[in-house]
Each structure stands twice: as C-alpha cells, then as structure tokens.
Amino acid sequence: MSEVKAAIEGVSGFQVAGVHAGLKKDGLLDFALIVSDRPCQAAGVFTKNEVKAACVLADMKKLAENPDHIRAVAINTRCANACTGQQGIENADKMAHYTAEQLGCDAESVLVLSTGVIGTQLPMDTIKHGIDLATGNLGNDWEATARGIMTTDTRPKYASVKVQTAAGETYHIAGISKGAGMIAPNMATMLGIIVTDAGCAQPQLQHALQTAAEVSYNRIVVDGDMSTNDTVFLLANGASGVTLETEADRAQFQDALEALCVKLAQDIVRDGEGVTKFVTIKITGAPDDDAARVIANTIATSPLVKTAFYGNDANWGRIVAAAGRAGISLNQSCLKLWFSLTEDAPNPLQLIDNGLPLNYSEAEATSIVNEPAFAVLLDCGAGSGSALVWTCDLSHDYVSINGDYRS
C-alpha cells in the first residue's frame, strides 16, 4: 500500500490557488480555486439533508448532465449560499460563469462550492474579486488552497499519495478537506476536493468515490448535525498517462483513494470544534453491518457519552445506554465492552462481560480515557455485523464557538 503523506507536491495537469478576497477579516485566506488544464471525468457525493445549498443543487445538475468535461472548482467561505432561493441559484451560476470567463472555458465545466453562514446571499463583487485574484495566482500552493476553504477549522487539511502500478507507471491522488463543526455521517460531512492525474471512466470514478466515502467521510462525527452544503468531488484528468483499465489497476486505485479519504476524514474529527479527544468506536457482533453502524453512530453522537469523554470519565453506563436506545434489537446479557488505546491493540481493558460490570481497575480505565486518542470496543453478541466510526468529545469550547458563530 502506498504511503499517504500530509503534503501535496503536485498532481500533473492541476493548478491551485488560495487567496484573500475580502470575505474574512484580517487578511485571512477565504477563496480557493482548483483548475485542470484539460477536461476531467468528475464524480461527486452530496449531503442527504433535504435542505440543500444552491451550490449543491447546481453541482448535482452539472454532474448529472456533464460529468466528463469538468475543468475547475471554485470555493468561497463565509457564506453557505443556503436557503437563498432563486437569487442563490443565480449567484451560484454567476460564480461559475465568471470563473469560466477568466479561465476561457465553458461555465458548465465549472463546479462551485460555498461554506459559511446559512441564509445570507453571496457578495458577488467580493466573489468576483476572489476569482480574479485566484486565476492570477494559480500554481502549486496546496496548503494555501486548503487554508482558503477553512471556516472554524484551526488548521488546513491536505494529503496525497503516489501510486506505482504493476507495470511500473506512477500517478498521484491528492485532496483537501474542510470541516470542524456541523459534522455528522450521511454522505460526506464537509467539503472535500480530491484530484488524480490518472485516467478513469466516469462510472468507475463515481463508484470509487461512493465506496471510499462510505468507509471514511461517512464514518465521522463531531456534533451530530448534518450540513446543507456537504460535498466531495473526485476529478480525474489522465495527465499522468496512466489509465485504470484492468481490475487490478482499479483495485489498487481504490485502496489508495480510501486511505487518502480516511486520512482527511480523521483529520476533520481531530480538528473538530473544541475537540480534545479523538475516539474510535468499534462495534462487533451486531445483527448486520448496517445495525452496527447505527449503534456506533448513536454512541458517537450522544451528548452524555461525549461529555464523559471530555471529563476523562470512564462512564461505561452511558455507552451501553446509548447502544440500547439505537433502535436495534439487542440482548443486554450478551454485551461485552472494552477500552483500549487503539481498536486493534492487544490486551484491551474489559469492563463488561455478559452485560455485567467486571472487577476491572477504575484507575486503568480512567488512564485510557485521559489519553488524547483511545477506542471503545462493544461486542453486541447478536450476529456478525461490524462498524467503525470516529468521533470526539464535547467540550466547553464547542459551546463557545457555536454560541456566537455569526458574530
């Protein structure tokens, strides 16, 4: 398996920019642009929230009609362009048209993303200024591009992987993501743009992204709220000269893509609003995989569980209570629970067996949940279903950040 690096040295045929358009104060980067020098095959996954931002609606339409001719993605912060009616749709279209004019391509080849406050209209003069700046500063500064899409994130999230095929050819996959709050699993839970210089047919690319999202972006929780703007794109321009033609090539690509997506998704949880703990929830023995995921999500989003994590309290009762209210039929006398530093560490500390507490060391349990990263392992004893979800604690800072988000 190729190594995923927290750096992007360049992907053939792509240029990027992150600039200060004036959307944020203090000169912070607030607008980003990703451009391919040739048409891309494009795939996308979108929020399942019934309240969708104008950019989501526009992009869904474009990918349905024109998925094999995408040239660019333009991203603004500070305004989600959600709940903005017909004017919001028109502004999303104007953002794409103006970007296309600057790049010399068709507006149907430009996807747009927005993130920020719901219910405000895009300041189009500022957006145009950002497009002018970004198109004039295209290059290879992926870190600036990742910073240009941040909202309450405290650090940029970007990574890449270099893949060598069995024939000795190489290509790259790289991606940026943003997200820190309003994070709940049901598609993707933030914004993400992934690019590759490999060539791939669009149906295969769409399948690859959906599969990767299921084991990465769909497995993260910060606060349990699903955004109106969640989107992940995957663009393939074939500039490396490598085409994914064989089943082995596509399997290798899938493995690398999933590893990259997991890295970016976990980075979101680690940088969640007010987060001090990164927690892996591993469910086994559920009736099936879907049931396991429901149980894991219920635990991962429980305010009582998350505040216990924040307080370094090994309060296993809250965990089993959350599992029991997940809506999945369980026999409490079959439950087994462990705490561990990782989901696969040897000799985890068992706290419950057959639904009853063991004579375990409270001091050892507390020492585990005091760590900045640990795992909760629950065996339901009800089948062969399993699931992994990554979550975090819920701190005072989360309340402070979201109490005055618009001010």
Residue 216 has pLDDT above 60, yes or no: yes
Do 82 and 54 meet the contact criterion of CB atoms below 8 Å apart?
yes
What is the average pLDDT across 169-179? Answer: 95
| pLDDT above 90 as % of the chain | 84
73: which strand partners?
34, 111
Domain with CATH 3.60.70.12 in the chain: 4-270
What is the average pLDDT across 74-93? Answer: 96
Which pLDDT score, from 0 to 100, does residue 261 have? 96
pLDDT-based confidence at 227, cuts 50/70/90? confident
CATH of 4-270, one of 3.60.70.12, 3.40.50.360, 2.30.110.10, 3.30.70.20: 3.60.70.12
Would you call 47 helix, strand, or coil by DSSP?
coil
> d(Cα 196, Cα 391) in Å, to the nearest integer?
28
Which pLDDT score, from 0 to 100, does residue 224 have? 65
> d(Cα 156, Cα 222) in Å, to the nearest integer?
17
Catalytic residue numbers?
Answer: 189
Residue 50 is given by DSSP the state: S
Which pLDDT score, from 0 to 100, does residue 182 have? 52
Do 222 and 268 meet the contact criterion of CB atoms below 8 Å apart?
yes
pLDDT-based confidence at 179, cuts 50/70/90? confident
Residue 223 has pLDDT above 80, yes or no: no
> d(Cα 304, Cα 291) in Å, to the nearest integer?
21
Which pLDDT score, from 0 to 100, does residue 390 have? 96
Considering only CA atoms, give the Rg of the chain: 22
Residue 170 has pLDDT above 60, yes or no: yes
pLDDT-based confidence at 407, cuts 50/70/90? very low
> d(Cα 181, Cα 401) in Å, to the nearest integer?
9
What is the average pLDDT across 343-362? Answer: 96
Which pLDDT score, from 0 to 100, does residue 406 have? 53
Neighbouring C-beta atoms of residue 398, cutoff 10 Å: 24
DSSP character string of 331-342 = -GGG-EEEEESS
Q: Which helix (H) or strand (E) holds 307?
A: helix 303-310
Which pLDDT score, from 0 to 100, does residue 187 have? 43
What is the average pLDDT across 217-244? Answer: 87
Q: Please give the biggest Cα pair distance in the chain.
A: 70
Domain with CATH 3.10.20.340 in the chain: 278-403
Task: Say which CATH superfamily domain 278-403 falls into.
Answer: ArgJ beta chain, C-terminal domain (3.10.20.340)
Handedness of CA 61, 63, 65, 69 (dihedral sign): positive
DSSP character string of 169-216 = -EEEEEEEEE-SSS---SS-SSEEEEEESSB--HHHHHHHHHHHHHTT
Tell me the average pLDDT of the chain: 93
Q: Which amino acid is at 404?
A: D
- pTM across the whole model: 0.93
What is the average pLDDT across 63-69? Answer: 96
135: which strand partners?
none
Residue 401 has pLDDT above 80, yes or no: no
Residue 181 has pLDDT above 70, yes or no: no
> d(Cα 199, Cα 212) in Å, to the nearest integer?
18
Handedness of CA 393, 395, 400, 403 (dihedral sign): positive
